[in-house]
Structure formats: structure tokens, C-alpha cells
């Protein structure tokens, strides 16, 4: 029989309090709002799952969700392969390593709204270096009016901002591969592709799981940059869930639907992340003894 | 399969390769491998023996092409392969720690080096399958053949690494770089016997790096002993035991190793402390450090008054014989005493004249060997 050591609860208590105030209580507030309606004066009426139904059935939500999924998919498809490619091309020793690492880390050190501002100015057709040059070269580019241009601008910005993270993670995976693996591959006459496919990629899998999860969650929650650059436009073309949510909650003060939407939003991220994690770590589970080892 | 010739090969880490081939005048201490010429005969089973850091692995990597030597020439039969990349040398090499392709099954791992072949060397699927099946039987991996390679025990992993070398039955040579370090002792013995069997069956040239003398002596027809980037002796296990050319070989081979006693020389007598010991021949006067080497097996214990008195400090019974730890004057002396021979309380010893070697600056002075049968 296992006996409970009640003293342990005292040790857990501070952490519980911290988590309660930082996560559980705010989340409960949102849950509270999501099942009630308010007409001001601090009067609330129970509406059950009405708001959830409304949000899930609204076209506005569907469109924003599709935009989010498309954006995340494009981001992952570009940043993951590009990150791997850059990591593979980076030097493994010598002074080049520090130069590359510093250059890679730079975009990650810039605050998100500053990144937005940089690109907002950079891509402007009247004064921005990029926008102006493109226009002068004869391209019909204007991110404030053209939907495709707005998307391209946001995607290029995100790739610029976040590919470094993927690169750094992959690089850390690559440098941890012992030299003997490369030597054995040469002895076995493996091609460059085979070395990548059978040595580097499997050894990078763990960091790639982290990279994919982080990039998915971050890009799915993207708010600041499109808010600064396009403000959700032109029209609603770049109105992602987060932007929509803020408009609903603060712009229109529809607290109930906004709360319901936040919860749905949260659950979608949780669900998709779980799917990614499960699929990508499937191989570990196949050979059970290896699970949990580093 | 091929005869492998090293022609004045040397290596310095960090040195500019190939272009500095003519500048062999550098500081001798900086060599990982000092200039060396050596022939590995086709089909030989060699052990490369030496302490850690003596250049064994460097030498191996030069043969397989993982390292380009700073100078010298490498020939397979009559072909100069010095500039060929590893892939084109057709050499198998097994490393100290298991290297596996995690995402493949055991059978796929073994098939990998065969599948990588292109052009005229390309094998049909049926042939690959057959060779892999043979290797699997040889190594006793039948049960694991279709399991993923990750998550296996270290023993099995290393067997697979070995197997990737053994499936390539037409290699020029198989190089083993301390392959049994991670293997369980009882399995070690079994695998070594298997390697020996495979050697007899296929007649590959095998070079086996180790710092364990038992491993070297049981595996190899010929043992190459290295010390500090230099080959100091090549010979059969018997040669190394009977005629060590260097005090290191004497100490390293044998259990216990050779007794090395500081001495002086006077014609055909050696002077150890106050004792005069007869030598098989006359020696010239030599400046530098002089030492007398004699194996514990060639020292006989006699009764008082017949030899040189020793002080016995310990007697170890190791089964077939006893090892006597003693002092001759001020110098330690190990003596092997066969079963049934008594050890008197006031023991004295005599050295078998024919088995004494004189070492000048650690190297055997040549003339001694003439009198030894």
C-alpha cells in the first residue's frame, strides 16, 4: 500500500498558487464569459453553449481560421526546409561559426512590433526601400491594396524573422552527431543524400519536433506583425483569428462570443500541436525501449 | 583483396596536407605518425598493438582514406590510392563504438553498404539478400533481422557494425578499430573466434587495432607494435615474446612483462648493481642508457650459493605457475616459477644467458640475437 505523504502538498502549494493566478483563474474567467451574455451594468444571463454555436457557424470565423491554417502551412513548408538547408550549409568549426550564429540570432532579438514596423516601412511603395525598388523595377506591388502582395509581404517577413530559430535548432542537432557516423557513411560508400536521409535527418528529428511545434503555435497565434503591417487588410484578407478576436472583444465589446472564440482557438492549437507531436514521435514509440532517452 | 604498402607515410594533425609532402623536416614530436614504411601482406591477419594515443587509429584512418597523410604514398597492390577518396578504396572499417542507421532495420543496415554500389560493382537484389542473410547467420542476429536498429543492446549494435563490414566479401581489407571495447567479456571471446573463422574462410586482409595484448595475440598471425607514432616491432606473437626489439614490447607483451634492469657493460658481462651477469656475446662500449632485459620465464631459482641472492617480497599463485616478486639488489624482479619447483627461503637466481637482451636507449642492441636459438 502506498501511503500519502501530506507534507508534499506544502511543497507543491506555492507552484499551484502561481499557476492558478497566471493560468487557471484567467482561463476560468474566459470560460465564465463564454457561457453568459451581458448587456452592461454588470448584468449577466446564462446562455449555455449558444456563443460556441454561433462562432462555429459564422462565416467570419471560418474564413479567419482558413487564413490561419493556410498561413501556418505556408510558413512551415518554407521555414522548415529552408532552416535545415541553412543549418547544413553552416560551417562546423572556425571563426565562421560565431559569425553565422550571431547573424542568425539577430532577427530573433528584435521585438515583434518593431519587426512589423521595419517591414511596414521597408515595403512601402512611396518611401520603403523594397516597395519603392520593386515599383521602379516595374512590378505592380502594393501590399496595402493587393491581397497577394499583402500575403507575400507577411510571409517573407515571417520567414525573415523566424527561419533563424529553425536554423539554430537544426544546427544544434547537427553538431551533436559524432564524427564516427560520417566516417562510417564514407566507408559504406553512402551518397550525400543518403548521409542526409539516414544520418542527419534522423538525428535532427527531436529538434525538428520542437521546431515544427514552436513555429506552428507561433504562426497560428500571429498577431503583432500583421496588425502593424496590414492591419488585417486589404479588406479582411489578412484578418487572422487573433486579429478578429481582438476586434470582436475590444472593438465591438462582444465579450461572450469573443470568449467562446478564444476557447475554440486555444483548443485548435492544442489539438493540432498534439497531432504534430504524436505523428512526429511515432517512430520513438515503435521501439519502446528508446523512448525517453535523449 | 590486395597487398597494402605504406611508403614513407607520415601524418601531422593540423599540417597542410600533400603540399607539404617534401617538408618532412618538421619537429619530430609533432607527428601523430612518424615516417613509416610497411607492407601488409594480402590475406594477413594483423594486430596493431600499442597504448592509447600512439597513432594506431591515425594509421588505420590513413589506410581507409578518412585521413589524408601529410606525406608518403599508399599502394593497394601496385595501384597508388593515396589520392583516392574512401568510397573508391573498397575498405571496410569497424569503429570502437557502434555506428548504426537508426531508422533502418537490422537487415537494412547490413544491406546498406551493398546498396550504395554503383556502376559495374552494382549487385542484384537477390545477391544482396543472400549476402545479408549469410551475415545475419554468421553473427547470430536471426531474431533481430527485421527489428529497427535503435533500441538494441550495445552488443547487438556492435555486431551490426561488424556485419556491415563483413557483408562486403570482396573488400581490399577490413580494419577493426578496437571493435570489442563495448562488448561483454564472454561475447568478446566468441566474436573474436568468429572473426578468426571468417578470416580463414574468406582470406581478407584484416588489421585489428587494440591495446589489449590478449586480443592481439589470439587474433593475429602478425602483430605490429606501435609506440608514440612509430612502429617499433612487427612479428609473430612468438617473435614478440622471445625477441622484443624494444623494452616497451618486452614490458607490454607477456604477463608479467619482461624484467628491465638498469645495467652497465663490461665486455661480455653485464653489471647489475654489484652482480656480474654473463652475456651471450661481446658488446661494444655504448653511451646512453643501458638496460638488461630478461623474461620472468627465463629466470631460474636456485639454492644458496649457486646464483645471485634476491629478497622475495611476494609470491602469487596464478594456477599453472607462481609469480615471485623479488628484489635483486635495489631493482624489482619478477620470476615465473613452474609448478612443483620449490622456493627456498634464501633464494638465489640465475639468468638463462641465451635469453638475455641488452637494450640501448630502450632499443635492442642487435648482436645479441645471434646466439639465441
Mean pLDDT of A175-194: 87
Size of interface A-B (CB pairs under 8 A): 63
| pLDDT the model gives residue A172 | 92
Residues of A in contact with B121 (CB under 8 A): none
Which of B91, B101, B148 is opposite residue A199, by nearest beta carbon?
B101
| pLDDT the model gives residue A75 | 94
What is the Cα–Cα distance from A171 to A151, expressed in whole angstroms? Answer: 29
Percent of chain A residues topping a pLDDT of 90: 26
Boundaries of domain holding A75: 57-282
Mean pLDDT of B114-137: 79
Mean pLDDT of A199-205: 88
| pLDDT the model gives residue A284 | 59
Flag the least confident range among A27-36, A196-205, B240-249, B262-271.
B262-271
A259: domain CATH number is 1.10.3720.10
| pLDDT the model gives residue A285 | 54
> Are A188 and B164 a contacting pair at CB < 8 A?
yes
CB A38 within 8 Å of CB A210: no
Distances (CA, A) of B9 to A258, A270, B22, B61: 76, 62, 12, 12
How many Cα atoms sit within 13 Å of B93 on the Cβ side? 30
In a domain, A38, yes or no: no
Instruction: State whether residue A183 sits within 8 Å of chain B by CB.
Output: yes
What is the Cα–Cα distance from A162 to A47, expressed in whole angstroms? Answer: 41
Flag the least confident range among A9-13, A27-31, B269-273, B330-334.
B269-273
pLDDT of residue A66 exceeding 60, the answer is yes
In a domain, A64, yes or no: yes
What is the Cα–Cα distance from A241 to A281, expressed in whole angstroms? Answer: 29
Backbone phi, psi, residue B34, to 5° = -80, 155
What is the Cα–Cα distance from B70 to B55, expressed in whole angstroms? Answer: 14
What is the Cα–Cα distance from B198 to B194, expressed in whole angstroms? Answer: 6
| pLDDT the model gives residue A79 | 95
Chain segment B86-106, per-residue pLDDT in tens: 877 888 888 888 888 888 888
CB B298 within 8 Å of CB B277: no
> Are B97 and A178 a contacting pair at CB < 8 A?
yes
> Are A180 and B99 a contacting pair at CB < 8 A?
yes
> Are A184 and B99 a contacting pair at CB < 8 A?
yes
User: In a 3-state reduction of DSSP, which class is residue B176?
Assistant: strand
| pLDDT the model gives residue B119 | 67
In a domain, A250, yes or no: yes
Residues of A in contact with B64 (CB under 8 A): 187
Percent of chain B residues topping a pLDDT of 70: 92
Flag the least confident range among A3-7, A21-25, A208-212.
A3-7
Mean pLDDT of B221-227: 86
Cα nearest neighbour of B113 on chain A: A188
What is the Cα–Cα distance from B277 to B67, expressed in whole angstroms? Answer: 49
Residues of A in contact with B65 (CB under 8 A): 186
Cα nearest neighbour of B97 on chain A: A180
Instruction: Report the phi/psi class of residue A154: left, alpha or beta, with left for phi > 0 and alpha for psi in -120 to 50.
Output: alpha
| pLDDT the model gives residue B371 | 40
Kindly indicate the confidence band of residue A162, based on its pLDDT and cuts at 50, 70 and 90: very high
What is the Cα–Cα distance from B247 to B251, expressed in whole angstroms? Answer: 6
In a domain, A93, yes or no: yes
| pLDDT the model gives residue A283 | 61
Whole-model pTM: value is 0.75
Mean pLDDT of B251-259: 84
What is the Cα–Cα distance from B15 to B31, expressed in whole angstroms? Answer: 9
Angle of helix A201-220 relative to helix A147-175, nearest 10 degrees, comes to 140
Which of A178, A181, A187 is opposite residue B91, by nearest beta carbon?
A187
What is the Cα–Cα distance from A151 to A144, expressed in whole angstroms? Answer: 10
Residue A6, Cβ density class (10 Å: 0-12 exposed, 13-18 middle, ≥19 buried): exposed
pLDDT of residue B370 exceeding 80, the answer is no
Across all residues in chain B, what is the average pLDDT? 79
> Are A186 and B85 a contacting pair at CB < 8 A?
yes
Which H helix or E strand runs over A55? helix A50-57
Nearest of A205, A211, A209, A218 to residue A278 by alpha carbon: A209
Instruction: State whether residue B227 sits within 8 Å of chain A by CB.
Output: no
Chain segment B234-247, per-residue pLDDT in tens: 888 888 888 888 88
Chain segment B32-65, per-residue pLDDT in tens: 788 888 888 888 888 888 887 788 888 888 888 8
Q: Which of residues 191-230 of A touch B (CB under 8 A)?
A: 191, 194, 198-199, 202-203
Mean pLDDT of B194-213: 82
In a domain, A6, yes or no: no
Cα nearest neighbour of B114 on chain A: A188
In a domain, A12, yes or no: no
Q: Which residues pair with B360 in a beta bridge?
A: B290, B363
What is the Cα–Cα distance from A56 to A69, expressed in whole angstroms? Answer: 16
pLDDT of residue B27 exceeding 80, the answer is no
Q: Based on the structure, what is the number of domains in chain A?
A: 1
| pLDDT the model gives residue B144 | 79
Q: All 3 cell numbers of residue B100?
A: 548504426
Residues of B in contact with A187 (CB under 8 A): 64, 66, 86, 91-93, 113, 165
pLDDT of residue B184 exceeding 60, the answer is yes
pLDDT of residue B123 exceeding 50, the answer is yes
Domains in chain B with CATH codes: 4-234 (3.40.50.300), 255-371 (2.40.50.140)
User: In a 3-state reduction of DSSP, which class is residue A94?
Assistant: coil
Question: Which residues make Cβ contacts (< 8 Å) with residue B197, sequence separation at least 6?
Answer: none
Which of B87, B148, B165 is opposite residue A186, by nearest beta carbon?
B87
Kindly indicate the confidence band of residue A189, based on its pLDDT and cuts at 50, 70 and 90: confident
Kindly indicate the confidence band of residue B22, based on its pLDDT and cuts at 50, 70 and 90: very low
Q: All 3 cell numbers of residue B25?
A: 623536416
Chain A: closest CA distance from residue B336 (Å) = 43
> Are A194 and B116 a contacting pair at CB < 8 A?
yes
Chain segment A76-97, per-residue pLDDT in tens: 999 999 999 999 999 888 888 9
What is the Cα–Cα distance from B191 to B211, expressed in whole angstroms? Answer: 17
Chain B: closest CA distance from residue A72 (Å) = 28
Nearest of A161, A144, A151 to residue A240 by alpha carbon: A151
Mean pLDDT of A112-119: 89
CB A104 within 8 Å of CB A168: yes
In a domain, A174, yes or no: yes
pLDDT of residue B189 exceeding 60, the answer is yes
In a domain, A29, yes or no: no
Mean pLDDT of A142-160: 89
Which H helix or E strand runs over B155? helix B154-166
> Are B113 and A288 a contacting pair at CB < 8 A?
no
Kindly indicate the confidence band of residue B367, based on its pLDDT and cuts at 50, 70 and 90: low
Amino acid at each position: 500500500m502506498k501511503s500519502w505523504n501530506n507534507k508534499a502538498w506544502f511543497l507543491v502549494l506555492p507552484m499551484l498558487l502561481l499557476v492558478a493566478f497566471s493560468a487557471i483563474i484567467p482561463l476560468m474567467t474566459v470560460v465564465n464569459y463564454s457561457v453568459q451574455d451581458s448587456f452592461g451594468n454588470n448584468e449577466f444571463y446564462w446562455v449555455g453553449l449558444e456563443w460556441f454555436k454561433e462562432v462555429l457557424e459564422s462565416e467570419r470565423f471560418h474564413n479567419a481560421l482558413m487564413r490561419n491554417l493556410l498561413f501556418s502551412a505556408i510558413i512551415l513548408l518554407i521555414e522548415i526546409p529552408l532552416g535545415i538547408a541553412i543549418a547544413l550549409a553552416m560551417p562546423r568549426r572556425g571563426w565562421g561559426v560565431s559569425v553565422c550564429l550571431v547573424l542568425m540570432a539577430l532577427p530573433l532579438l528584435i521585438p515583434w512590433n518593431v519587426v512589423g514596423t521595419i517591414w511596414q516601412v521597408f515595403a512601402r511603395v512611396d518611401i520603403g526601400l523594397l516597395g519603392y525598388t520593386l515599383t521602379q523595377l516595374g512590378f505592380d506591388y502594393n501590399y496595402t491594396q493587393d491581397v497577394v502582395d499583402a500575403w507575400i509581404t507577411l510571409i517573407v517577413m515571417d520567414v525573415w524573422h523566424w527561419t533563424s530559430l529553425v536554423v539554430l535548432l537544426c544546427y544544434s542537432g547537427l553538431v551533436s552527431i559524432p564524427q564516427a557516423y560520417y566516417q562510417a557513411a564514407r566507408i559504406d560508400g553512402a551518397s550525400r543524400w543518403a548521409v542526409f536521409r539516414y544520418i542527419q535527418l534522423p538525428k535532427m528529428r527531436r529538434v525538428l519536433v520542437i521546431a515544427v511545434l514552436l513555429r506552428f503555435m507561433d504562426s497560428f497565434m500571429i498577431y503583432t506583425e500583421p496588425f502593424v503591417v496590414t492591419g488585417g487588410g486589404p479588406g479582411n484578407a489578412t484578418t487572422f483569428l487573433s486579429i478578429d478576436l481582438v476586434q470582436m472583444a475590444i472593438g465591438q465589446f462582444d465579450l461572450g462570443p469573443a470568449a467562446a472564440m478564444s476557447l475554440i482557438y486555444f483548443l485548435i492549437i492544442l489539438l493540432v500541436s498534439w497531432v504534430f507531436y504524436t505523428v512526429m514521435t511515432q517512430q520513438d514509440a515503435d521501439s519502446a525501449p528508446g523512448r525517453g532517452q535523449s | 583483396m590486395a597487398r597494402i604498402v605504406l611508403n614513407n607515410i607520415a601524418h601531422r594533425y593540423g599540417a597542410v596536407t600533400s603540399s607539404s609532402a617534401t617538408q618532412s623536416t618538421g619537429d619530430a614530436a609533432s607527428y601523430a605518425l612518424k615516417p613509416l614504411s610497411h607492407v601488409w601482406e594480402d590475406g594477413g591477419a594483423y594486430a596493431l598493438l600499442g597504448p592509447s594515443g600512439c597513432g594506431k587509429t591515425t594509421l588505420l584512418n590513413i589506410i581507409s582514406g578518412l585521413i589524408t597523410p601529410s606525406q608518403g604514398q599508399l599502394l593497394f597492390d601496385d595501384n597508388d590510392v593515396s589520392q583516392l577518396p574512401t568510397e573508391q578504396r573498397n575498405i571496410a572499417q569497424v569503429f570502437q563504438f557502434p555506428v548504426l542507421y537508426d531508422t533502418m532495420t537490422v537487415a537494412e543496415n547490413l544491406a546498406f553498404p551493398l546498396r550504395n554500389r554503383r556502376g559495374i560493382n552494382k549487385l542484384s537484389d537477390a545477391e544482396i539478400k543472400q549476402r545479408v542473410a549469410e551475415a545475419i547467420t554468421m553473427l547470430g542476429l536471426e531474431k533481430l533481422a527485421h527489428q529497427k536498429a535503435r533500441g538494441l543492446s550495445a552488443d547487438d549494435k556492435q555486431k551490426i557494425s561488424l556485419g556491415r563490414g563483413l557483408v562486403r566479401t570482396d573488400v581490399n581489407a577490413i580494419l577493426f578499430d578496437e571493435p570489442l571495447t563495448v562488448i561483454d567479456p564472454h561475447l568478446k571471446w566468441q566474436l573474436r573466434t568468429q572473426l578468426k573463422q571468417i578470416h580463414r574462410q574468406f582470406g581478407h586482409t584484416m588489421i585489428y587495432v587494440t591495446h589489449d595484448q590478449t586480443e592481439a595475440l589470439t587474433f593475429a598471425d602478425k602483430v605490429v607494435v606501435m609506440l608514440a607514432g612509430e612502429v617499433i616491432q612487427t612479428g609473430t606473437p612468438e617473435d614478440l615474446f622471445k625477441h622484443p626489439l624494444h623494452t616497451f614490447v618486452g614490458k607490454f607483451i607477456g604477463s608479467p612483462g619482461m624484467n628491465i634492469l638498469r645495467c652497465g657493460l663490461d665486455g661480455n658481462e653485464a653489471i647489475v648493481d654489484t652482480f656480474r651477469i654473463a652475456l651471450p656475446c661481446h658488446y661494444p662500449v655504448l653511451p646512453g642508457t643501458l638496460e638488461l632485459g630478461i623474461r620472468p620465464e627465463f629466470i631460474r631459482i636456485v639454492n644458496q650459493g649457486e646464483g645471485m641472492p634476491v629478497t622475495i617480497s611476494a609470491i602469487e599463485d596464478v594456477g599453472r605457475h607462481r609469480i615471485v616478486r623479488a628484489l635483486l639488489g635495489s631493482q624489482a624482479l619478477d620470476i615465473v616459477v613452474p609448478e612443483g619447483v620449490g622456493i627456498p627461503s634464501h633464494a638465489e637466481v640465475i639468468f638463462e644467458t641465451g635469453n638475455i637482451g641488452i637494450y640501448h636507449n630502450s632499443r635492442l642492441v642487435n648482436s645479441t640475437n645471434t646466439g639465441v636459438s
